[in-house]
Copies of this chain bind each other. A is one copy, B any other.
Amino acid sequence: MIEALTYAAAGVDIQAAEVNVRRIGAHVRSTHGPSVLGSFGAFAGLYHLTGLKDPVLVASTDGVGSKLELAHKLAQHEGIGRDLVNLSVNDILTAGARPLFFLDYIALHSMEHDQVEALVRGMSAACRENECALLGGETAQLPDLYQPGQYDLAGFVVGVVEREQIVDGSRVQLGDAVWALPSTGLHTNGFTLARRVIATAELDLRQPRDDLGGQSLGEALLAAHPSYLAAMRPLLAAGAVKAMAHITGGGLAGNLPRVLPAAMGADVAWGAWPVPPVFEVLRRAGGIAHEEMLRVFNMGLGFVFVVEPGVDCPGALRIGTIVPSSGDGERVVVTGAPRD
């Protein structure tokens, strides 16, 4: 006769899940305006859609990649929560959409209440800043898939845009201007490589560094992934924006062409924007080729957009021009970029 088994003995704690729901409830509700119907804790979240003529829903899902591992090492969970919301908002912003609501999926070994609450606090703060509701979420205890203390995190955002205001790159013309909003650092891409550099070159994460303006490497790497919604809103309201790209994995060359007509590319001038010093620290320590840096990292470009040549875009930097492209090879040329 074997010992009687229970769900708790098998590693899943239903009461811990209930405590979790109570601890995160106030954060979640702080994001709810009158559009949210029903109550926190139901099978599904309800959002009343009003005031639209011809609505198109715009949705995206993403994770924060292996920035998670670094955040975990440095016990900085709140920022990761913010990052996840902001990067999701930027993804749907590329179509001209404003966010309506966000949902999160957290998977972990067992319920670490402080950690989960910090994540949800961060997500809730970013939801309020982006004027979207944290409409639901799932915290899954998977003790056989995750190591103690480890977790994965995915986000899901739904926004809306009037059909006639969708931004899809189709109006882009040769000679149009390419502008950029600066990044704060790596944002949430390239961390698997960055962490490999740190391990290989045995870099210290906590020591202040002169080449990072007194920041530690850990601080520079965990710099927030900002939302570009507020900066883009006036330009979008003016109908000036023809295409937008969120510079994520694959860098400028991997992302800008996704929103340009097939026969067009961009000629961008190296030096037209500041490159945050953390990239040079990683490049030197890892002996990474300059070309590889541009393929993997955003190199200072957080969000890139296209307008007519005469339009002025306060707060943004003019970085280049739309040019013809054969479609073969690289469609984005970074003129003057360092080479190996």
Interface residue A62 (Cβ < 8 Å from any Cβ of B): yes
Question: Across the interface, do A144 and B66 meet the contact criterion of CB distance under 8 Å?
Answer: yes
Chain B residues whose C-beta falls within 8 Å of the C-beta of A231 in the assembled complex: none
**Among B9, B69, B95, B295, which residue has its beta carbon within 8 angstroms of that of A44?**
B95
Interface residue A230 (Cβ < 8 Å from any Cβ of B): no
Question: Across the interface, do A5 and B166 meet the contact criterion of CB distance under 8 Å?
Answer: no
Question: Across the interface, do B1 and A287 meet the contact criterion of CB distance under 8 Å?
Answer: yes
Interface residue A215 (Cβ < 8 Å from any Cβ of B): no
Question: Across the interface, do B250 and A63 meet the contact criterion of CB distance under 8 Å?
Answer: no
Q: In the complex, how many residues of chain A place their beta carbon closer than 8 angstroms to a beta carbon of chain B?
A: 91
Q: Identify which of A74-82, A97-105, A123-131, A308-316 touches chain B.
A: A97-105
In A3-21, the 8 Å CB interface with B consists of 3-7, 9-12, 14
Q: For residue A48, which residue of chain B has the nearest CB? A: B56
- Grouping DSSP codes into helix (H, G, I), strand (E, B) and loop, the A interface class, with mixed when no group exceeds half, is mixed
Chain B residues whose C-beta falls within 8 Å of the C-beta of A287 in the assembled complex: 1-5
CA distance A122 to B68 in the complex (A): 29
Interface residue A57 (Cβ < 8 Å from any Cβ of B): yes
Question: Across the interface, do A44 and B152 meet the contact criterion of CB distance under 8 Å?
Answer: no
In A245-264, the 8 Å CB interface with B consists of 245-246, 249-250, 254, 258-259
- A262 → chain B closest CB, angstroms: 12
**Among B9, B54, B94, B145, which residue has its beta carbon within 8 angstroms of that of A196?**
B9
Q: Identify which of A34-42, A175-183, A270-278, A329-337 touches chain B.
A: A34-42
- A222 → chain B closest CB, angstroms: 16
- Specify how many copies of this chain sit in the oligomer: 2
**Among B6, B49, B69, B150, which residue has its beta carbon within 8 angstroms of that of A193?**
B6
Interface residue A158 (Cβ < 8 Å from any Cβ of B): yes
**Among B38, B107, B135, B163, which residue has its beta carbon within 8 angstroms of that of A152?**
B107
Question: Across the interface, do A166 and B46 meet the contact criterion of CB distance under 8 Å?
Answer: yes
CA distance A315 to B297 in the complex (A): 56
Question: Across the interface, do A7 and B296 meet the contact criterion of CB distance under 8 Å?
Answer: yes
**Among B65, B137, B144, which residue has its beta carbon within 8 angstroms of that of A61?**
B137
In A53-95, the 8 Å CB interface with B consists of 54-63, 65-66, 68-69, 91-92, 94-95
Question: Across the interface, do B97 and A44 meet the contact criterion of CB distance under 8 Å?
Answer: yes
Question: Across the interface, do B41 and A144 meet the contact criterion of CB distance under 8 Å?
Answer: no
Question: Across the interface, do A46 and B57 meet the contact criterion of CB distance under 8 Å?
Answer: yes
Chain B residues whose C-beta falls within 8 Å of the C-beta of A92 in the assembled complex: 43-44
**Among B7, B61, B144, which residue has its beta carbon within 8 angstroms of that of A104?**
B61
| Given known A2-B287, A4-B286, A156-B103, contact A60–B45 (CB-CB < 8 A) | yes
Chain B residues whose C-beta falls within 8 Å of the C-beta of A58 in the assembled complex: 44-47
Q: For residue A64, which residue of chain B has the nearest CB? A: B140
**Among B38, B101, B103, which residue has its beta carbon within 8 angstroms of that of A95?**
B38
* Top 7 A-B residue pairs of the complex, sorted by shortest distance between their CB atoms: A156-B156, A105-B154, A10-B196, A5-B286, A44-B60, A4-B287, A43-B94
List, sorted by A's number, 16 A–B pairs whose CB atoms are closer than 8 Å.
A4-B286, A5-B197, A5-B288, A7-B193, A10-B193, A38-B168, A44-B97, A59-B136, A59-B158, A61-B104, A65-B142, A68-B145, A69-B144, A107-B152, A141-B192, A154-B154
